[in-house]
Structure 1
Amino acid sequence: MDSPFSGLSSRQFGKLIIALRSEGADPVRKGRPWSLPLEDRVLLVAAYWRTNLTLRQLAPLFGVSKSVADRIIDHLGPSLALQQRKRFRKDTVLIVDGTLPPTRDHSVAEESKNYRYSTNHQVVIDADTRLVVAVGRPLPGNRNDCKAWGLSGAKAAVGRATVIADGGYRGTGLVIPHRREKGQAELPAWKEEDNTSHRKVRARVEHAFARMKTWKILRDCRLKGDGVHHAMLGIARLHNLTLAG
């Protein structure tokens, strides 16, 4: 039952549980213990992120109350967060882009170019492995990518690594496509070839977004406060585990 919701094979799911226990996600609690074992709690969180069912709909599937399901998500969601990479090889090439998950908590979201209240998440992937290596903190969806790159912490997370981006990151020092100068009718052939190569490589981050957005919570997030950030980081970790095989 774990694969449809977590996207992981039974072997991968088992490795995740072992890793979570080693990270302290299942400590001995004082007082009343959890009504579900860690495996089922992880599955509950994954099912919530994957289906975006309301807690009133989801809780009976696991035989718990709505309030228990809510506490499990609040407690375990942060524990599933991606451990962002801190060091990169000198020849590492990364790709960054922003995505705008619609978010109902208007205290952290703003109306964006998709005409919905959204949060801007800067997501960085490794161009070779296509694994997510960093996710910036969410900013209001009306922040453009060139500002969100620095303000979200994504820039600091990747240090001096080479980063490819689209034309929305002008002035950031990232590798972006060539643009025509004022009065220039067309680009030289070598620049057009560079841009073609750039588009093919940069498309990999769009493919990562497409896979991550199979998790329906990123299409309409009802979580408040840091909930959307925890969901994005958790989904990034599960996405990486799926790719790693």
Structure 2
Amino acid sequence: MAGVLRAERVWVETFTGLRMRQFDGLLKVVRERGGNGPGGGRPWCLPLADRVLLVAVYYRTNLTMRQLAPLFGVSSATVCRVIQRLGPLLSLEPTARPADAADRLWIVDGTLIPVRDRTTAASSRNYRFSANAQVIIDADTRLVVATAQPAPGNKTDAHVWRNSGLDRYCEGVTVLGDGAYFDTGLVVPHRKRQRRPLLPGEEADNAEHRRVRTRVEHAFARMKNYKILRDCRQHGDGLHHAVQAVAYMHNLALAS
């Protein structure tokens, strides 16, 4: 059975949201991380470039493995093995503490991702079984700095943040969060209290805070063009690998 999709410009740019040079950069990283394997075993029926394209198309379109199989001319079992093998190799590597940390501004927020695996999800305020994925972006570049292991969606952002381990990447960096991160050490808006309206200066601070913090919402919107983050069928660490891979492809598309 001959496949339709190959790692060629027309298919890469149509199905992945990446330009060809960006896809080449992704392919190079996967190869350096051991995407071809140690060798000596049964060879893959697809070259590495086509396998990386398969994983990127899966994350972008969220087609089922049975739907992807005829597009690449392989079995659905092969599609599953390719995704399981290469998915983790597309992951974003957390940014090290920058040298100019005191001058940086990062933004953190959580987003709910519907997921079928009930062991990693919980009934959430979006009325679906979802997981809470915490993401940090750089306010200037809009690039994703780090992501955390998704937590059940019934946990608050502050609770997930405290248990995510992301704070170790933020030492010395000013980090903005919304009102859900109150009492976490992050920069949050001034809170209205009963019978105490906000002062004019506090209103202005909150307006500026909202203006800057919307950048993380824009980042989520771009990341959710990859439909795997709208309804994830992966189990176990599959959602975590998907979030990290999407973050890395988002950075490639934005920076190149």
TM range (shorter): over 0.9
Equivalent position to 1:59, from 52, 61, 69: 69
Runs of 4 or more above 3 Å deviation: none
- What does residue 124 of structure 2 align with? 112
Distance, in Å, in 2 between the alignment partners of 1:196 and 1:39 is 46
1:15 Cα shift?
Answer: 1.9
- Percent pairwise identity: 55
Ranges in structure 2 where 5+ consecutive residues have no aligned partner: 1-10
Distance, in Å, in 2 between the alignment partners of 1:119 and 1:200 is 26
- Structure 1-normalised TM-score? 0.97
Is the Cα–Cα contact under 8 Å of residues 150 and 156 in structure 1 kept in the other structure?
no
Q: Does 1:79 align with 2:89?
A: yes
1:39 Cα shift?
Answer: 0.8
Equivalent position to 2:234, from 223, 227, 232: 223
| CA deviations over 1:80-138 (Å, ceiling 9, x no partner) | 00011021222111000000100000011111111110111100000000000010111
Distance, in Å, in 2 between the alignment partners of 1:81 and 1:43 is 15
Amino acid at match of 1:222: R
| CA deviations over 1:211-238 (Å, ceiling 9, x no partner) | 0111111111000000000000000000
Equivalent position to 1:208, from 205, 219, 223: 219
- What does residue 4 of structure 1 align with? 14
- What does residue 141 of structure 1 align with? 153
Q: Does 1:96 align with 2:108?
A: yes
Q: Does 1:190 align with 2:204?
A: no
Distance, in Å, in 1 between the alignment partners of 2:168 and 2:236 is 23
Distance, in Å, in 2 between the alignment partners of 1:157 and 1:119 is 22
- Which has the higher mean CA deviation after the structures are superposed, 124-133 or 5-14? 5-14
Distance, in Å, in 2 between the alignment partners of 1:189 and 1:10 is 50
Distance, in Å, in 1 between the alignment partners of 2:236 and 2:246 is 17
1:12 Cα shift?
Answer: 1.3
Distance, in Å, in 2 between the alignment partners of 1:120 and 1:153 is 14
- Which has the higher mean CA deviation after the structures are superposed, 117-126 or 86-95? 86-95
Is the Cα–Cα contact under 8 Å of residues 97 and 169 in structure 2 kept in the other structure?
no
1:183 Cα shift?
Answer: 1.8
Query: Cα RMSD between the aligned structures?
Result: 1.1
Is the Cα–Cα contact under 8 Å of residues 86 and 158 in structure 1 kept in the other structure?
no
- What does residue 6 of structure 2 align with? none
- Structure 2-normalised TM-score? 0.92
Is the Cα–Cα contact under 8 Å of residues 151 and 160 in structure 2 kept in the other structure?
yes
Distance, in Å, in 1 between the alignment partners of 2:167 and 2:124 is 22
| CA deviations over 1:44-73 (Å, ceiling 9, x no partner) | 011111111110111110001010000000
Distance, in Å, in 1 between the alignment partners of 2:247 and 2:218 is 13
Kindly tell me the number of residue pairs found equivalent between the two proteins: 244
- What does residue 184 of structure 2 align with? 172
Equivalent position to 1:162, from 174, 179, 192: 174
Q: Does 1:232 align with 2:243?
A: yes
Amino acid at match of 2:226: W
Distance, in Å, in 2 between the alignment partners of 1:23 and 1:73 is 15
Ranges in structure 1 where 5+ consecutive residues have no aligned partner: none
SS of residue in 2 equivalent to 1:70: helix
Distance, in Å, in 2 between the alignment partners of 1:84 and 1:148 is 18
Is the Cα–Cα contact under 8 Å of residues 26 and 90 in structure 2 kept in the other structure?
no
- Which has the higher mean CA deviation after the structures are superposed, 165-174 or 24-33? 24-33
1:161 Cα shift?
Answer: 1.5
